[in-house]
Amino acid sequence: MQEQDVGTDWRNDFKNLTPSEFFRKNKQMLGFTGKIRSLTIVFHELITNSFDAAEEAGILPEIDIELKRVEKEHYILKLKDNGPGIPEDYVMRVYCSMFAGSKFRNIQSRGQQGLGCSGCVLLSQMTTGKPARVISCYKENGDIKGVKMKFQMDVKNNRGILMEREDYPAESTGVCIELQFKEVSYSLAEQGAFEYIRRTMIGNPHAKITFRDPSGHKYIFKRAADIVPILPKEVLPHPKGVSADDLMTMAQNTDSRRYKSMLTSSLSRMSNKRVDEISELTGIDMNKRPKDLTFPEAETIVHCFKKMKFMAPPTDGLIPIGSEQIEKGMKQILKPEFVTTITRKPVTYQGGVSFIIEAGLAYGGDSGRVVKEQRKSEIMRFANRVPLTFDAGSCAITEALKSIDWKRYGLKDLDNTPLTLFVNIISTQVPYLSTGKQSVSPEPEIVHEIRQSTMKLARKLQKHLRAKKAAKEKEKRSKVFEDYMPVIIEEAAKLGETGVPEYQEVLAKVTKRALAELLGEKVEEEEEEEELDAIIMEEVDERGYAVDGNSTLDSFEEDDVDDEFED
């Protein structure tokens, strides 16, 4: 009987946890690890939620954030948005129930888990024991209503406990939330809250954020673009992207009375005609009731989908930032010397989930990040415009960028280049690797698209750098020729009366000095320039007489050198 004594005591040991209880024990799975990171994740979740709410209602997001330090590692965070507000009945459900929310539709949104806001309230409660305070102003039957609430989270039951409630005189819609946190830390570091806001602005140039930091300093991150982003539409799943299990779930939840109507109403690109085709190919009676759908039938239908041709998934569900907007955002924040951006066409992963890759590359100016007073390259990862700050290691974006041979694009030491790489993946279903939503699963199609877009940008940067070098050369050469031109003219004038051989001799002498100066100035420069010098030398020698130095070089630059640079 020894076994029973030491083994599991089922009656006492077996427990069912609510999601809140589970994440209370495993808060690191929500991204809450480390003092700096924890606070950044709070910013991330609350900003994300405000943006989604405003945009879904067609409002240009505008957020005021205030972070007060009460004492070391104890802060009060207040965030006010201009979104549509949350109806009173849903306030505590949004902020106190985990795995609950309005984001479970097939629509592009930043949040998609129903964990973010309630995670923040949980962390606040766990570290301070203080209640959450929320003012919500929302439209109801045409009027604006306002409510002020104070509540706690009932972790054991995954719901809120109301402590105080009063009407609030509302003027415009929006939510204002106040939470307290301990054991967190505000930092200007790369993984800190300030940097998070900076990155957010790059991905959301249509938004405005005002931030008062713990020292009382007020930062205003202005709109770089006044365009309300087009509202993403909820799109029906594409036949190539659904599994048999998805069909089974649809069948259990549909209001349709027959397979046929269920398929046409639940999937995109699915007409009655296509359903008839499927019926013919599979022999399945499409007039049966969805509740009777069996798994083998579902499998047969999905198998049939795979063999059929369908139009690509509708892409009006995917709203990229747009390359122009990304450029505006990067220019505003990074003030770079050079910037180039790209928004690719929508494609799909796992057969049917469509996504778009957008990328931007900024060079010089405030690009890159400063480490020990040196500018290093930095990668900014985004998913549905949300900056991903942590767990870079396993992310599709990191994997793709690492696999690129940067030397081919003239970046011999990528690490020490003042470069900011921006990658944003837009999808109705971003395949996050964990509940902390900080890295994207490296699906082969996603990695491929990121590589393609980044290589295109790298090629443009290469051109820019070559042109810059060439321009620098040109300037130097112009200067040398300018300096020597008076001498040449003077000598030429003197020689006007003497014979031709001497004329050439003097000219050669002066040219030689000019070239020596040119070469002397550039001992530390590279091969490419040396080739260039060789070409200049030939040009000058062949022509053998004094012409307008500037114009010669101009035409030379435009033709030969440019070709030389292109290959």
- Figure out which of the listed residues 164, 166, 167, 245 binds a second copy, where binding follows CB under 8 A: 245
For 121-182, give the DSSP string: HHHHHHHH-PPEEEEEEEEETTEEEEEEEEEEEEGGGTEEEEEEEEE---SS-EEEEEEEEE
For 343-355, give the DSSP string: EPPPEEETTTEEE
Map tokens 């393609």 to a residue.
452
User: Footprint of a second copy on residues 192-231 (CB under 8 A)?
Assistant: 231
- Figure out which of the listed residues 295, 306, 490, 558 binds a second copy, where binding follows CB under 8 A: 295
**Is 50 known to sit in a ligand binding site?**
no
Under rule CB under 8 A, residue 499 binds a second copy: no
* SS3 (DSSP) at 330: helix
**Which stretch in 123-131, 254-262, 310-318, 478-486 sits in contact with a second copy by CB under 8 A?**
123-131
CB of 203 to a second copy, least distance (A): 22
- Figure out which of the listed residues 62, 66, 73, 128 binds a second copy, where binding follows CB under 8 A: 128
User: Footprint of a second copy on residues 264-293 (CB under 8 A)?
Assistant: none
Under rule CB under 8 A, residue 127 binds a second copy: yes
CB of 476 to a second copy, least distance (A): 43
Order of all β-strands in the sheet with 62-71: 159-167, 143-154, 132-140, 174-182, 74-81, 62-71, 208-212, 218-221
**Is 354 known to sit in a ligand binding site?**
no
Contact by Cβ (8 Å): 284, 300: yes
Under rule CB under 8 A, residue 432 binds a second copy: yes
Judged by beta carbon, residue 69 or residue 139, the one nearer a second copy is 139
Burial class (CB in 10 A: 0-12, 13-18, 19+), 100: buried
CB of 30 to a second copy, least distance (A): 10
- Figure out which of the listed residues 313, 320, 431, 549 binds a second copy, where binding follows CB under 8 A: 431
Contact by Cβ (8 Å): 203, 385: yes
For 35-83, give the DSSP string: HHHHHHHHHHHHHHHHHHHHHHTT---EEEEEEEEEETTEEEEEEEE-S
**Which stretch in 82-90, 373-381, 493-501, 524-532 sits in contact with a second copy by CB under 8 A?**
82-90
**Which stretch in 43-51, 309-317, 414-422, 428-436 sits in contact with a second copy by CB under 8 A?**
428-436
**Is 460 known to sit in a ligand binding site?**
no
User: Footprint of a second copy on residues 362-391 (CB under 8 A)?
Assistant: 390-391
Q: Residues 409, 412, 413, 419: what is their CA dihedral angle, to the nearest 10 degrees?
A: -30
CB of 467 to a second copy, least distance (A): 37
Under rule CB under 8 A, residue 173 binds a second copy: yes
Q: How many CB atoms lie within 10 A of CB 155?
A: 21
- Figure out which of the listed residues 19, 214, 314, 410 binds a second copy, where binding follows CB under 8 A: 19
- Figure out which of the listed residues 68, 78, 139, 274 binds a second copy, where binding follows CB under 8 A: 139
Under rule CB under 8 A, residue 21 binds a second copy: yes
Q: What is the DSSP letter of 365?
A: T
Computed from CA positions of residues 362, 221, 178, 117, in that sequence, does the dihedral angle turn out positive or negative? negative
Judged by beta carbon, residue 150 or residue 212, the one nearer a second copy is 150
Tokens found for residue 318 = 């995917």
* SS3 (DSSP) at 387: strand
Under rule CB under 8 A, residue 33 binds a second copy: yes
Under rule CB under 8 A, residue 348 binds a second copy: no
Q: What number of chain residues touch a second copy (CB under 8 A)?
A: 78
Under rule CB under 8 A, residue 255 binds a second copy: no
**Is 117 known to sit in a ligand binding site?**
yes
Taking the C-alpha atoms of residue 148 and residue 166, their distance in angstroms, rounded to an integer, is 5
Closest by CA to 71, choosing from 150, 186, 148, is 186
**Is 436 known to sit in a ligand binding site?**
no
Under rule CB under 8 A, residue 102 binds a second copy: yes
Taking the C-alpha atoms of residue 567 and residue 562, their distance in angstroms, rounded to an integer, is 9
Under rule CB under 8 A, residue 101 binds a second copy: yes
CB of 309 to a second copy, least distance (A): 22
Residues at the binding site for ATP are 49, 81, 102-103, 111-118, 437
